[in-house]
Amino acid sequence: MQFMLLFSRQGKLRLQKWYVPLSDKEKKKITRELVQTVLARKPKMCSFLEWRDLKIVYKRYASLYFCCAIEDQDNELITLEIIHRYVELLDKYFGSVCELDIIFNFEKAYFILDEFLLGGEVQETSKKNVLKAIEQADLLQEVRYFPRCVTPFSF
């Protein structure tokens, strides 16, 4: 995966994860153009489109568009599953997630994504393990100092 963008129906960016090095200017340009392109799609159209030399896979969940850019040899259908899995994780974590949760807790959205994907590839296919990792990390934030030995994660 080259990048993932989350944006609202009004085109406001809610999350941007880039797995390729691009300048800020280029990122902004790509975001702007892609958001426009996706928002222009009618509801009955399929979730895939070709844009520049990339394949774009997008899906709308309530008021948020989840949009991924994948390479030519990547499987579009499994990318849909990736998006869906991420939404499920958010849902489990926030309890019936909505756009506002992602707006007000954007760092958490990033942390969750970073436990699911790494360097643009899937790192963990068990929902349970991802959520446990986040839970443990959240707990660690509560303590003021690191305990001398942290119980190793068993997952």
Please name the residues in contact with 127: beta carbons below 8 A apart, sequence gap of 6 or more: 85, 88, 89, 92
Report how far apart the first and last C-alpha atoms of the chain are (Å, whole number).
25
If the CB atoms of residues 95 and 152 are measured against other proteins, the closer one turns out to be: 152
Give CA separation, 15 vs 67, 101, 110, 154, in Å.
10, 12, 8, 30
Q: How far is the CB of 133 from other proteins (least distance, A)?
A: 7
Shortest reach from residue 93's CB to other proteins, in Å: 15
Nearer to other proteins, 62 or 136 (CB): 136
- Minimum distance between the CB of residue 131 and other proteins, rounded to whole angstroms? 12
Q: Are the CB atoms for 3 and 17 separated by under 8 Å?
A: yes
By beta-carbon proximity to other proteins, the closer residue of 95 and 119 is 119
Q: Rounded to the nearest whole angstrom, what is the least distance from the CB of residue 81 to other proteins in the complex? A: 6
Residue type for position 31: T
Task: Please name the residue that has the structure tokens 């994660």.
Answer: 153
As measured in angstroms, the least distance from the Cβ of 84 to other proteins is 8
Tokens of 69: 């850019």
Residues of this chain that interact with other proteins (CB under 8 A) are: 12-23, 28, 42, 44-50, 53, 72-73, 75-78, 80-82, 85, 103-104, 106-107, 110-111, 114-115, 118-119, 121-129, 133, 136-137, 140-141, 143-146, 150, 152-153, 155
d(CA 39, CA 18): 20
Residue 95 or 104 having the CB closest to other proteins: 104
CB nearer to other proteins: give 45 or 95.
45
CB atoms near residue 57 (< 10 Å):
25
